[in-house]
A and B are shown apart, each in its own frame.
Chain A
Amino acid sequence: MAQQTPPAIKFDKVSRHFGDVKAVDEADLEIRDGEFFSMLGPSGSGKTTCLRMIAGFDRPTAGQIFLYGQDVSNLPPYDRDVNTVFQDYALFPHMSVSENIAYGLMVKKVARPERMKKVDEMLELVQLSGFGGRKPSQLSGGQRQRVALARALINHPKVLLLDEPLGALDLKLRQQMQVELKAIQKRVGITFIFVTHDQEEALTMSDRIALFNQGKIEQIGTPAEIYEHPKSAFVAGFVGTSNLVRGEVARRITGMDVTFSIRPEKIHLGNIKEKAPTDSYSSDGTIRDVVYLGLYTRYHVELDGGGDLVVVEQNLKSTSMDVLKNKGQRTRLHWNKEHISKMGA
């Protein structure tokens, strides 16, 4: 009878108010053991405050935080089995790379030989073997990032927090680190909580995502769920691009009183003379603008009864000459009924 593992992190109506500002407001959240979980949202949405409360740098003004079933709401950071990779890395400038990494073990008074052995393992894990004697100032941004990661992992925390750790890196290095982070997580099997404002990063790396907006969690789900079925206009707009259709236009298309979103790539630019397939919605319009973007082309279509939709099509066969000719053409847009996400009016 294996007892079920409690969630790695559980928020029970957690709020953090700074005076009148509700940085986090009655958030409920469960993060599973071993998960790669992302907290996504614009700056000021409360994601970083949540991370700081898990780490213990900040405490909730109301509600409780549980770490594997234990209430940690009022424990100082050093009494929590949680470690953090900081946005600015926060390496200690007066210590060498090895001393930085060994720091957690040193304050726990682990014997020196043991410490050195662990440090070497960590250096190897983050591919920095041989860099132990250097000072942080002698490292590149990407290398400092790895040191910060190794320093946080050496304690084998139950949960690793990453606060926009890739923000300072250039695009190439960032993509490489995304892959590496995933690989390292698989290897060490620790729950990762990743804070980012970059939706693409969240979509590619996460098992699940929590989307924050103005101190509240808008939606929690797998990347596919969030992308395909956004529960609110905010989610639809923040993750990827989306057409939001409401009011009169929505009623004309669906025959119902709804607001819905539809992703631009799900819409087909149909021939005005052909009938739309059954089980799909359709609407006629005129192509007002064509933007050729290499991999795909973006069309802005003005609907006959008012409103407009953005449509993208991959340039499988067409060239820029072909697509640009479409400007001013009439079209019958149609898309599968299942591809719309209805949301509360």
Chain B
Amino acid sequence: MATISMTVNGKQVSGEAQGNTLLVEFLREELKMTGTHVGCDTSQCGACVVHVNGESVKSCTTFVSALDGAEVTTIEGMANDDGTLGVIQQAFQDEHGLQCGFCTPGMVMTIADMLNNNPQPTEAEIREGLKGNICRCTGYHNIVKAAQSAAATLSGAKQAAE
């Protein structure tokens, strides 16, 4: 057992982890943050996607022992400071981009990273960017719309700020 310290959603946290403890286990069991989900065991479904140092990773295949001192963002850190839904979250609600909600945290985190790197993706680029995330409910139709809507909102806000 080793004590791991990291910043999660802007808060300094620490907890006990073994050498083979996965980041998702650390989040869910040690930190009791259950928004990040496990949907497979072959690193394909993406329900477990979080950001580590600003980039999306699959927390089901990341050892927490390598993350001492890292900055981690999870779905619990994506809302606005006043508790209202963040832009991508709001786009998911507005466009009906979720049904059972289980894959949703990973979808939101993946799209956030996608839009960071490519603020105005085409539909084909969005679909390509979601290759590592599986949704069984929506047929992706409204997830794609949510990503497009969030991209429009974010680039509109950026233009207004400039």
Indicate whether A and B interact.
no
